[in-house]
Structure 1
Amino acid sequence: MESSDTLRNKCAACYRQFNKMEHLVEHMRISYHSVHEPTCGICGKHCRSFESMREHLIGPLPKAECERVFKERGCDICLTILGSRNALRVHRETCQLSRGNAGLLHRMGNLGIYDEIKVDNNRAKVVALACKMVGGGSDGSLDLCARVCLIDEYENIIFQTYVKPHLPVTNFRYETTGVRPEFLRDAMPVRQVSRKIQDFLCNGEAIWKIRSRGGRARILVGHGLDHDLKCLDMEYPPILIRDTAKYPPLMKTSKLSNSLKYITKAYLGYDIQTGIQDPYDDCVATIRLYMRMRSQFHKWENYPLATDPQNRNNFAQWRQSELERMSPEELLEISRSDYSCWCLDSRDPSA
Structure 2
Amino acid sequence: MEGRNKCAACFRQFNKMEHLVEHMRISYHSVHEPMCGICRKHCRSFESLREHLIGPLPKVDCERIFKDRGCDLCLTIFSSRNALWAHRSTCQFSRPNNAILYRMASLGIQDELRIDSSRGKAVALACKMVGGGSDGSLDLCARVCLVDEYERIIFHAYVKPTLPVTNYRYESTGIRPEFLRDAMPLKQVSRKIQDYLCNGEPIWQIRSRSGRARILVGHGLDHDLKCLELEYPPMLIRDTAKYPPLMKTSKLSNSLKYLTKAYLGYDTQTGIQDPYEDCVGTMRLYTRMRSLAHRTQDYPLATDPQNRNNYASWRQTELERMSPENLLELSRSDYYCWCLDSN
User: Structure 2 length normalisation: TM-score?
Assistant: 0.89
Q: Cα distance, 1:118 vs. partner?
A: 4.2
Q: Cα distance, 1:28 vs. partner?
A: 1.7
**2:328 maps to amino acid:** L
Contact 2:111 2:154 in 1 (8 A): no
**Which of 280-289 and 331-340 deviates more?**
331-340
Contact 2:119 2:149 in 1 (8 A): no
**1:84 maps to amino acid:** S
Instruction: Please give the alpha-carbon distance, in whole angstroms, between the structure 2 residues aligned to 1:338 and 1:279.
Output: 32
Instruction: Please give the alpha-carbon distance, in whole angstroms, between the structure 2 residues aligned to 1:254 and 1:131.
Output: 27
Question: Which residue is equivalent to 2:211?
Answer: 215
Question: Which residue is equivalent to 1:272?
Answer: 268
Q: Cα distance, 1:244 vs. partner?
A: 0.3
Residues 149-298 of structure 1 mapped to structure 2, 5 A cutoff: 149-211=145-207, 215-253=211-249, 255-298=251-294
Residues 139-154 of structure 1 mapped to structure 2, 5 A cutoff: 139-154=135-150
- Aligned pair partner of 2:19 in 13, 17, 23: 23
Identity rate, percent? 77
User: Structure 1 length normalisation: TM-score?
Assistant: 0.87
Q: Cα distance, 1:319 vs. partner?
A: 7.0
Residue by residue over 1:12-67, the C-alpha shift from the partner in whole angstroms, topping out at 9 and shown as x without a partner, is: xxxxxxx9443333222111110000011111111000000000001111111110
Residues 89-128 of structure 1 mapped to structure 2, 5 A cutoff: 89-100=85-96, 106=101, 110=105, 112=107, 113-118=109-114, 123-128=119-124
- Aligned pair partner of 2:297 in 291, 298, 301: 301
**2:183 maps to amino acid:** A
Residue by residue over 1:294-325, the C-alpha shift from the partner in whole angstroms, topping out at 9 and shown as x without a partner, is: 11100011111111111111246x67956873
**1:253 maps to amino acid:** T
**1:329 maps to amino acid:** E
* 1:45 lines up with 2:41 in the alignment: yes
Aligned residues: 328
Instruction: Please give the alpha-carbon distance, in whole angstroms, between the structure 2 residues aligned to 1:309 and 1:322.
Output: 23
SS at match of 2:88: helix
Residue by residue over 1:253-299, the C-alpha shift from the partner in whole angstroms, topping out at 9 and shown as x without a partner, is: 36300000000000000011000000000000000000000111000
Contact 1:105 1:156 in 2 (8 A): no
- Aligned pair partner of 2:52 in 51, 56, 64: 56
Contact 1:304 1:337 in 2 (8 A): yes
Instruction: Please give the alpha-carbon distance, in whole angstroms, between the structure 2 residues aligned to 1:103 and 1:273.
Output: 12
Question: Which residue is equivalent to 1:335?
Answer: 331
Contact 1:114 1:158 in 2 (8 A): no
Instruction: Please give the alpha-carbon distance, in whole angstroms, between the structure 2 residues aligned to 1:122 and 1:105.
Output: 24
SS at match of 2:31: coil
- Gap change, CA 1:175 and 1:310, over 3 Å in 2: same
**2:152 maps to amino acid:** N
SS at match of 2:329: helix
Contact 1:135 1:142 in 2 (8 A): yes
Contact 2:119 2:150 in 1 (8 A): no
* 1:67 lines up with 2:69 in the alignment: no
Contact 1:99 1:272 in 2 (8 A): yes
- Gap change, CA 1:274 and 1:105, over 3 Å in 2: closer
Question: Which residue is equivalent to 2:84?
Answer: 88
Instruction: Please give the alpha-carbon distance, in whole angstroms, between the structure 1 residues aligned to 2:220 and 2:130.
Output: 16
Q: Cα distance, 1:86 vs. partner?
A: 1.0
Instruction: Please give the alpha-carbon distance, in whole angstroms, between the structure 2 residues aligned to 1:342 and 1:107.
Output: 31
The structure with the larger Rg is: 2
**Which of 78-87 and 102-111 deviates more?**
102-111
- Gap change, CA 1:248 and 1:322, over 3 Å in 2: farther
**1:152 maps to amino acid:** D
**1:246 maps to amino acid:** K
Residue segments in structure 2 that go unaligned for 5+ positions in a row: 1-11
Contact 1:204 1:216 in 2 (8 A): no
Instruction: Please give the alpha-carbon distance, in whole angstroms, between the structure 1 residues aligned to 2:67 and 2:92.
Output: 17
Residue segments in structure 1 that go unaligned for 5+ positions in a row: 1-8, 10-18
**2:187 maps to amino acid:** R
Question: Which residue is equivalent to 2:28?
Answer: 32
**1:239 maps to amino acid:** M
Residue by residue over 1:102-129, the C-alpha shift from the partner in whole angstroms, topping out at 9 and shown as x without a partner, is: 5797467546533311455665311100
Question: Which residue is equivalent to 2:3?
Answer: none
- Gap change, CA 1:52 and 1:181, over 3 Å in 2: same
Report the RMSD for the aligned CA atoms in angstroms: 2.2
